[in-house]
Structures are given as C-alpha cells and as structure tokens.
Amino acid sequence: MSSTRTLIRGGLVITASDEIHADVLIEDGRIVALAAHGSGTAEGWTAGRTVDATGKYVIPGGVDAHTHMEMPFGGTFAADTFETGTRAAAWGGTTTIVDFAIQTPGGSLRQGLDTWFAKADGKCAIDYAFHMIMADVNETSLKEMDLLVQEGVTSFKLFMAYPGVFYSDDGKILRAMQRASSNGGLIMMHAENGIAIDVLVEQALAEGRTDPRHHGEVRKVLLEAEATHRAIQLARVADAPLYVVHVSAEEALAELAAARDKGLPVFGETCPQYLFLSTDNLAEPEFEGAKYVCSTPLRPREHQAALWRGLRTNDLQVVSTDHCPFCFTGQKEMGRGDFSKIPNGLPGVENRMDLLHQAVVEGKLSRRRWIDIACASPARMFGLYPRKGTIAPGADADIVIYDPHAEQTVSARTHHMAVDYSAYEGKRITGRVETVLSRGEVVLEEREFKGSAGHGQYTPRSTCQYLD
Ligand code: URP
Ligand code: ZN
Ligand code: ZN
Ligand code: ZN
C-alpha cells in the first residue's frame, strides 16, 4: 500500500492562492492530502518514497500553454521534437504543454489533429494537450469545431498575420468567433495586420534593408495594436471570448486593458522573450539578430515595464513560451540577405519557470503571482484546472521541488533543448528546478533525468474556466 505512495516533506508549498509550510502525500499519481508542519497530521504518514524538500519550494508543475514542437515553418521544422521538447520542458519544471495542431489549407481539422496525435504519441516525457490552428475557415471546418470542443480540443488559433499561409480575413475570423460563441470554444488570436506588414516587408527588401533588425521595424507596434483592437471588436460582435497570444507591445496591451475595463471576456498572454529581450537583441551584428526573430517581434526595452505591470494587474493572465526553436546554423541562416526568410520563433520551454522566478527575486512578481501566471491561470484558461496547475487533494501529482537559492547561468552548452543557441545565453538566475514529478512519477531527481518518452499522456481539456 505505502509503496505506491510518495511523501514530500519539509517544503514551502506555493500555489496561486496560498503559501503554506506543509507535507504533501501522493498516492497513485494524485495528491491525496496536505498537512501543515506542526499540525501532527503527517506524523503517521508512511510512503515508499520520501522526498526531502526542506528549505525548498514545492510548486505545481508548470503549464506551458503555447509550444510548437516539430512545427513546419518556411520550408523547415522547429528543431525540438515532442521527445526532446518535452524532456527539456521537464528539466525546466514544466509538466504540461499545450501544443498547436495545424490544419493545412484544403484539409480538415480532423486530419490536422490526427497528424499531431501521431507526432506526439509515445514520445512525450510530460503530459500534453492540443489547440487547433485553423488555416482554412469554411463550412466544413466550422462544423468540425463543435466536434473538437466536445472531444477536448477547446481552443482555436486564428492568424491576422501571414497572408497566404495561416491568414484569415475578418469575415472568416468573425465566422469562427460566432461558432466559438455557440460551442464554448476559445479563439486565440495572432494579432498583427499581416496585409499591411507584407507591404512594408516588400518595400524594406526593395530598399536593401534586409538585416534581421528590419523584421522588427516592419512589424510595427501600431499594426499589433490595430489588429488587437479589431480582434476585440469582432469578438464583441460575435459575443465570443478572446485570448490574444504573444502580446508584445504596450499599445496592444492597452487595447486589452480597455476591453477588460468594460468587463469583456478578453484575455492575454505574453512570453519571456518580450519581458527579457528587446530590439537591442534583434540588432546584434553578424546576423546574430536572426536568433531573436519571432512574431510578434521583440520591441524596444520601454515596452517591458508595461508588460510586467499588466501581469501584476491581471490585464495579462498567462506567460507561455511560444517555444518554436530553429537552430542558428542551417535554419535561421536561411534568411541571410532577406530577413523575411528567417524562420520565426524562439526557444524557451526550458527557461520559463526560472526566468519568472528571477522576476520574483527582483521584486517584479510575488511568489503566488509567479505560480498563477505560469501554472494555475494557463490551466484555468484552457480547461485543465484543478487537475493541473495547483497542489490540492485530487490534483495530478505534477510537482516541482524548486531551490530558490541555487545560482545558475543559462547557456546552450547546458540546456536540453535541441537548438544550438540560447536566447538567454549568460543570463544569471537565482533559483533552479531540483526534482520533478509527473503524475507521481519521478521525471527529474536532483538534476538527473529519470523520465521516459511515452510517460506523458494526452490530456483532453474542458472549455475555458474563466467563463464558468
Ligand atoms: O514567431 C513565432 N511566434 N513563431 C511561432 C508561430 C506563432 O505565430 O506563434
Ligand atoms: Zn516548515
Ligand atoms: Zn502567433
Ligand atoms: Zn506560437
């Protein structure tokens, strides 16, 4: 009986709502009880395995609600597979990812989803779920949305950017939003005016402005703010909730904040790259700026303070990575002489929990807000709570023992993502993941990987729990 039990003793349990010095009892992959130190309750508990968390934090495993493992983009594929990417996630204290299955234009949602099920099946070290990218809104795919919501794929990403690839015009967006309004789905929006951006790209290239930094210059703040505004108005017309992904600019955030002040069900996510990196990185010489090409793009440093404030005031609810890694050698290099050919995306699935802890150390976030934006809120947003994102009886035993005093330096030499550079190379972080449990099984133990490809299970989701 006690052999299937694990006991985590001596740590400070932190959730989005509480901090309590408590022991945690796990049985059959789930948390069964918490007992405050000194209450005497835990004294009689026995377990096959005891983990000593004295002096450490005991936190829910991270929920990264925006990743792109093996994503096809611009003639190549994101460098992390579901196997390498989920292993790296575990190293970084993330125990659930929500990745994006992609509908190919002309194809069905079903075909796209099945393709992504096949990619991930048997490969993942941690649990996973899917959103659906809709690249072709039509009568058939609109009907399919209802079925997907019922089977646990409850969120749909649409693109106002990338004409000719993923782009949907306003009419298609409105129709998908109307459908989501009736079936309970959540529309996730890539809010950039891609039609206008493509004009500016063409003009920049014609004028010989081909370096990576021009990627940031043509993808203007105004065109993110305009698209964000338009997405919000379309969602109002459709009476649908809206989640704006990878918010990078103060002016776009202001649109979200204004909508939320009106009481509208509008939500937003930002990513570590917008909180810690800037156009200074995009301007790095010798084509090094290509390492930082993603969309929405990195912004001037001044935008960061607004994003941190938005996280504190809950105008932004979630930090996810948009992990979409491309190696510098051979992949980012495809865009030498033409920034528009640089595959878009940054690595980060392994770094998110640590970077946000560094923000706690620097006083930008409270410990509970750290857990909220990285674990609880993404789980709630995408229908995984309280199974994921918290430490409470009944929850999956996805638990991280976090050493808040360890010192580390981020580097591609020591990270576990299958990409040949780190976007945060040389960054010093106070805090480090020590031990990771996924449904009660040890995946990482005192900085040694003990997990396996295939332990991770597909996790169907309910609808957005901020709308309940
Ligand atoms: O540059 C990015 N973000 N690449 C991934 C695709 C997306 O738009 O999220
Ligand atoms: Zn204690
Ligand atoms: Zn996007
Ligand atoms: Zn993305």
ipTM of the complex: 0.94
In the reported structure, the alpha carbon of residue 296 is separated from the centroid of ligand 3 by a whole-number distance in angstroms of: 7
pLDDT tens digits, 409-437: 999 999 999 999 999 999 999 999 999 99
Residue type, 308: W
Q: Which residue of 246, 277, 326 sits with most ligand 1 atoms within 8 Å of its CB, as the best mutation to test the pocket? A: 246
Decide: 345 in ligand 1 pocket, CB within 6 A: yes
- Could you give the CA distance from residue 159 to residue 155 in angstroms, rounded to a whole number? 13
Which pLDDT value is given to residue 273? Answer: 99
Ligand 1 pocket test target in 73, 321, 322, 419 with most atoms within 8 Å of CB: 322
Q: Which ligand is nearest to the CA of 58?
A: 2
Return the residue matching tokens 């990409």. 419
pLDDT for position 43: 87
What is the pLDDT, as a whole number, of residue 42?
Answer: 87
pTM for this entry: 0.98
pLDDT digits (tens, 9 = 90+) for 223-249: 999 999 999 999 999 999 999 999 999
What mean pLDDT comes out for the span 49-60?
Answer: 98
Ligand 1 atom 8 nearest Cα: 295
Dihedral (Cα; 113, 117, 118, 120), 10-degree rounding: 130
CA distance 124 to 97: 10
Mean pLDDT of 376-396: 98
Within 8 A by CB and 6+ apart from 61, the residues are: 93, 94, 95, 96, 126, 375, 388, 398, 399, 400, 436, 437, 438
Q: Does domain 60-381 have CATH number 3.40.50.720?
A: no
pLDDT band at 9 (very low <50, low <70, confident <90, very high): very high
Q: How far is the CA of 290 from the centre of ligand 1 (A)?
A: 14
Greatest alpha-carbon pair distance for the chain in Å reads 75
Find the 224 Cα to ligand 3 centroid distance in Å: 11
Would the CB of 87 count as within 6 Å of ligand 1? no
Using a 6 Å cutoff on CB, does residue 322 contact ligand 1? Answer: yes
Average pLDDT for 22-30: 98
Q: Which atom of ligand 1 approaches the CA of 245 most closely?
A: 9
Q: What integer pLDDT is reported at residue 159 of this predicted model?
A: 98
**Ligand 1 pocket, 226 CB below 6 A?**
no
Among the bound ligands, the one closest to the CA of 158: 3
**How does the average pLDDT of the chain come out, rounded?**
97
